[in-house]
Amino acid sequence: MKIIKLNAIGSTNSFLKDLAHNSMLEDYTVAVTNQQTSGRGQMNNSWHSEPFKNLTFSIFTRFKNLHINQQPYLNFAVSNAIFEVLQSLSVPQLSIKWPNDIMSGNQKLCGILVETTFTNQKIKNSVIGIGLNVNQEKFPSHMTHASSLKNILKKEFDLDEIMHQLVEKIQLYVSKIESQDLESIHKSYLKHLYKKDIPTAFKDERTKLFFMGMIKGVDTNGNLLVQLEDDSIKEFQIKEVSLAKA
């Protein structure tokens, strides 16, 4: 593992993507920064994190034999890896909120942004971006659903130590993908799924209307399976639906 430490940068994902474009990066090159000035989240959202308090880092990985249809497994694997590290720190009520937020109860601790390049139907390489709230204590009012390890476990954590644990676990899970151990990755992701089998409010992102349903699973294409009030099961892609805030 090669670590590039940056004091400040727009986005560690963008930084590593540019670097990978212009040079031959070693597998598991990590870029970590004390401060992101334009951190990016899923679906073109921005990612805010108090400077010096939290982990904001990205990992570059190369794949030899991963079909583009298998990209969801990469998201499952990274979520599982982070889940396990946080579990080892005794974070209570952990779950994975589809597609890949790591939650403690109804509070979000960690966001993941995986960005991938393809050639000939194969995933060439990926940049796995992770924002984990570690020692931040106060969150702006528009982030009422965010929390940190410190707020939950009432102690400070060493950022470097947690980052090493995360990178090692991600490395382990990603190698499981390479050896095509896909079913077990999918299974453990499903085991940890937030709000599974619990009546939940959803927002249809197209019509902006709310509806009730129950999460039944996530298929191997990464789509959310929701049981509707008439008992039918509907499949939603990432941009089509969101879970209403609890």
Residue ranges binding ligand BTN (CB under 6 A) = 11-13, 36, 39-42, 45, 47, 56-58, 101, 111-113, 129-131
Q: Which is nearer to ligand BTN, 11 or 79 (CB)?
A: 11
Q: Among residues 10 and 199, whose Cβ is nearest to ligand BTN? A: 10
Q: Give the whole-angstrom CA distance, residue 94 versus residue 106.
A: 9
Nearer to ligand BTN, 112 or 167 (CB): 112
**What's the min distance (Å) between Cβ of 128 and ligand BTN?**
9
Smallest distance, ligand BTN to C-beta of residue 67, A: 24
Instruction: Evaluate whether 202 touches 242 at the Cβ level (below 8 Å).
Output: yes
Strands 29-36 and 2-9: what pairing?
parallel
Considering the complex, what minimum distance in angstroms separates the CB of residue 229 from ligand BTN?
29
C-alpha distance from residue 210 to each of 71, 142, 154, 204, 206 (Å) = 29, 20, 36, 6, 11
Nearest distance in Å: CB 113, ligand BTN: 4
Rank residues 112 and 177 by Cβ distance to ligand BTN and give the closer one: 112
Please give the structure tokens belonging to residue 110: 């960690």
- Nearer to ligand BTN (CB atom), residue 36 or residue 125: 36
* Structure tokens, 80: 């599982």
CA distance 124 to 216: 32
Nearer to ligand BTN, 134 or 214 (CB): 134
Cα 4 to Cα 34: distance, rounded to the nearest angstrom: 12
Which of the 8 DSSP states describes residue 219? Answer: -
Interacting residues of 82 by C-beta distance below 8 A, sequence separation 6+: 102, 110, 112, 130, 132, 166, 169, 170
Shortest spacing between CB 175 and ligand BTN, in angstroms: 22
Measured from the CB of residue 161, what is the shortest distance to ligand BTN in angstroms?
18
Tell me how far apart the alpha carbons of residues 111 and 75 are, in angstroms, rounded to a whole number.
11
Q: Which residue is nearest to ligand BTN (CB)?
A: 111
